[in-house]
A and B are shown apart, each in its own frame.
Chain A
Amino acid sequence: AQSVTQLDSQVPVFEEAPVELRCNYSSSVSVYLFWYVQYPNQGLQLLLKYLSGSTLVKGINGFEAEFNKSQTSFHLRKPSVHISDTAEYFCAVSSYNNNDMRFGAGTRLTVKP
């Protein structure tokens, strides 16, 4: 079965600074990769997804992620964060032969003024 590791449980950053949230996955078959964001007291919302094709994927709110097959990574980046980006971010993976989506443990992004 596929699995996901998010390497940082918490990432504090100042407003307007760049940020990278790291995600590594493990699977014996081809995968589909996703990033979700969870604001306080809400459900998860899709930020972006990688299915195939270009390895650089752009999502909502200025986020982007790059799929790196050789390093089995799918890191999330934003060049300049806002206070409103403070939230929990989850990396997720599913494999082409089942729709059992597995989530990482989450990274708490805190943007400070």
Chain B
Amino acid sequence: DTAVSQTPKYLVTQMGNDKSIKCEQNLGHDTMYWYKQDSKKFLKIMFSYNNKELIINETVPNRFSPKSPDKAHLNLHINSLELGDSAVYFCASSYRDSYSPLHFGNGTRLTVT
């Protein structure tokens, strides 16, 4: 199926641990994103990559590090997890044009205990 797929779907971990979320898209898009959705459903952009180049880097703690090995993959690594990192993280992709809609994955629900 053509889609944006991210793994894992659920991630439960303890404070201080390091974890990664993986994202892959087979839509042929050249731009990929990470968004964070908090408990009030507010969506905030974290990072955007175009053809493996970082183009958007919002004010996010440097414990969060994105990595894009190729334009079809964008992973998110989080060091020293904190309680406040608990949220749903969405990967999305699109063409570079600003009029292209985003295609979202189904999210990774991260719970830090």
Do A and B interact with each other, yes or no?
Answer: yes
Interface residues, chain A, with chain B CB atoms under 8 Å away: 32, 34, 36, 38, 41-46, 49, 51, 88, 90, 92, 94-103, 105-106, 108
Task: Describe B's contact surface by its main secondary structure.
Answer: loop
**Given the complex of chains A and B, what is the CA–CA distance between A96 and B15 in angstroms?**
41
A43 CB contact (under 8 Å) in B41, B45, B97, B107 = B107
B45 touches A100 (CB 8 A): yes
A42 touches which of B42, B101, B106 (Cβ 8 Å): B106
Q: Which residues of B are at the interface with A, using a C-beta cutoff of 8 A? A: 4, 31, 40-43, 45, 48, 56, 90, 92, 94, 96-107
Interfacial chain B residues near A44, Cβ < 8 Å: 43, 90, 92, 102, 104
What is the total of A-B residue contacts with beta carbons within 8 Å?
61
CB distance from A80 to the nearest CB of B (A): 25
Q: Chain B's nearest CB lies how many Å from the CB of A67?
A: 13
A103 touches B43 (CB 8 A): yes
Q: Which residue of chain A is the closest to B105 with respect to CB atoms?
A: A43
Complex Cα gap A94–B4 (Å): 21
On whether the beta carbons of B104 and A43 are closer than 8 Å, the reply is yes
Taking the closest CB of chain B, its distance from the CB of A106, in whole angstroms, is 5
- Identify the closest chain B residue to A103 (Cβ): B43
